[in-house]
Structure 1
Amino acid sequence: MTHTITRSYEDYETAAAVIENLGEAGISDSDISVVGRDERTNDNNAAEGAGIGAGVGGAAGLLAGLGMLAIPGVGPVVAAGWLAATAAGAVAGAAAGGLVGLLTSAGLSKEDANYHAETVRRGGTVVSVKAPDEHAATVERIMDGFSPIDRDTRLASYRTEGWTGFDENAAPYAGSTTSPGRPQFPVD
């Protein structure tokens, strides 16, 4: 049986390190996906996605193949892997559900999909792995070893702001979670 294991990280650099460690553990690039905001991306430099991947740990083939997507409610993101390929098709086809729909179709609950989509919107990066039973514990150990965002704490923080779910019609979030004037979220 295959499990979809997904974690969100505060920044792209941490997610890149996770991906490199997964590759070193023998997890195939074809089983790993990444979608996230990188402060070096904007609507004007979409062609630089692969350069960002190579510059932040090009040892992993997946990172060298990063591309850029514009996701409704999120804005420009760097993305690679099976989830990115699906996202590119969904964006091109204007599929209903956007990023939340992609994540739920990958096996996440609606609440988890909303959480991960909002985290990307606010500057985080999501790493998702399709792991067979024999690799699931290794994948979880590696992913959890890089201090992913504590889902429950972050959801509580979002809800205290009045957030009820990811809104793909919302304007992309300006800045990152640690920009001046933006809420600071603890990493647990």
Structure 2
Amino acid sequence: MENTVVGVYDSYAQAQNVMNELLACGFSRDEVQLSPEADRTSLTQDRDSGTGSGIGHFFRSLFGMEDEEDRMHHDVYAEAMRRGSCVVTVDADSEEERERAIEVMNRFDPVDIDERSSQWRSQGWTGYDAAAPMYTDSEIEKDRTLYGQNRTTDSTAQSMRGEQQRIPIVEEELQVGKRAVQRGGVRIYQRMTEKPVQESVTLREEHVNVERHPVDQPASEADLTAMKEGAIELRETAEEPVVSKSARVVEEVVVGKEATERTENINDTVRRTEVDVEQLGAADRSTTGATTAADTSMASGTGMRSDYGDSAMTSDDSDYRTHWQNAYGSSGGRYEDYDAAYRYGSMAGGSERYRNYRWEDAESNLRSDWERDHPESAWDKVKDAVRYGAERVTGRQRGR
């Protein structure tokens, strides 16, 4: 578990987008796991059988049960899945990969699992029960609605107590390393070839000639001595070519490598959150400040922090809820699905960048930032909420 990163998401589409982004960033399919693997299919099968034993087995294999901390992690994440959430896990091979996985997973609004489990305990939950049935769709909706209401109550109480809020200023640092890559090379083949050659050689041959000549003369003493039976042999000889071959080294091919060094300049950008503070009148109930970044929260190995949680300024959202009821209530859905859009708009309206903006001029940039940070939420669905949040801060609200 040392380099395992775990993220919890209430939407299966969010979890699927997280897994796809991790795979696109270089993680292998064996390192990334989404549970359930299909949109509530495996959870529905567990619910129909009356138990969540499949969930328990998954987290026992992930965390083990060696000590109290392992059992605590097991219970919290198993309970989150029992209540309809999806879990994405990444087995990172190094600290660098772990940080990269956290950065990717934080883009997709992960659940603050510590805060969520605290809410369960306040309702009497004491630990994961493998024999407990899976939550139905209506139970899931009720549970998350109650969670959203409690978060609003806690935020309001905190503001009334006058407690300090800390807004982290996060700044990226550029880290440049190097790695060895294949750039090409040479392959040497050795093969045999043949070519015709021609040489000349002089050969000597002997031939025996026999001639008979008529003679008429007295026989000499030598002739008489030679007058006996016998045989005389003369052999003919001839030369023939003899071919042999010898090998000689006539050339060498020397293969080696030469190392050179070069300096390359890296040009990139790093991000840093900035905080703009606006002084408000006593009658203004809008937010007391805004950040120019949509999400600066970081994650740990046991959970994530969601958008607009710690970094966004809290306020009374009753005005937002009234607008939501008038604009969206008849179409169904929940206010919690639009809460982030209202707060995003109020942050933009209170920032230096959009303080004197015209909506028609700013909408393109606002839409681009929203779709980058909230790929699961369509701009056309929430843009009225964003505009209302911005105009509520600037005081330039349209007639409703």
TM-score (norm 2): 0.32
Report the equivalent of 2:39.
38
Provide the residue aligned with 2:298 in structure 1. Answer: none
Q: Which has the higher contact order (CA 8 A, sep 6+)?
A: 1
Matched, 1:22 2:31: no
1:163 to 113, 125, 136: 125
Relative distance call for 1:177 and 1:9 in structure 2 (3 A) is farther
Equivalent AA in structure 1 for residue 108 of structure 2: F
Q: Work out which of the residue numbers 126, 139, 147 in structure 1 matches 2:87.
A: 126
| Counterparts of residues 57-136 of structure 1 (less than 5 Å) | 73-74=51-52, 98-105=57-64, 109-133=70-94, 134-136=96-98
What percent identity do the matched residue pairs reach? Answer: 26
> Alpha-carbon deviation of 1:104?
1.6
What letter matches 2:93 in structure 1? P
* Shift in Å, 1:173: 1.4
Number of equivalent positions: 144
Aligned to 2:110: 148
Distance 2:110 2:129 in 1: 23
**Does the 8 A contact of 1:74 with 1:120 survive in 2?**
no
Q: Which amino acid aligns with 2:57?
A: G
Per mean C-alpha deviation after superposition, the further-off stretch among 168-177 and 126-135 is: 168-177
Which whole-Å CA distance do the structure 1 matches of 2:107 and 2:13 have between them?
14
User: What is the RMSD of the two structures over their aligned residues, measured on CA atoms?
Assistant: 3.3
Task: Tell me the residue number matched to 2:12.
Answer: 12
Q: 1:20 to 1:119 in 2, by over 3 A?
A: same
Gaps of at least 5 residues in structure 2 are 149-305, 310-400
Q: Kindly indicate whether the alpha-carbon contact (under 8 Å) linking 1:4 and 1:106 is maintained by their aligned counterparts in 2.
A: no
Which structure has the larger Rg? Answer: 2
CA separation of 1:73 and 1:11: change in aligned 2, threshold 3 A: farther
Q: Identify unmatched segments of 5+ residues in structure 1.
A: 44-67, 76-86, 92-96
Runs of 4+ in 1 over 4 A off after TM superposition: 68-72
Flag the 1:69–1:172 CA change in 2: closer, same or farther, 3 A. Answer: closer
TM-score by length of 1: 0.64
Q: What letter matches 1:169 in structure 2?
A: A
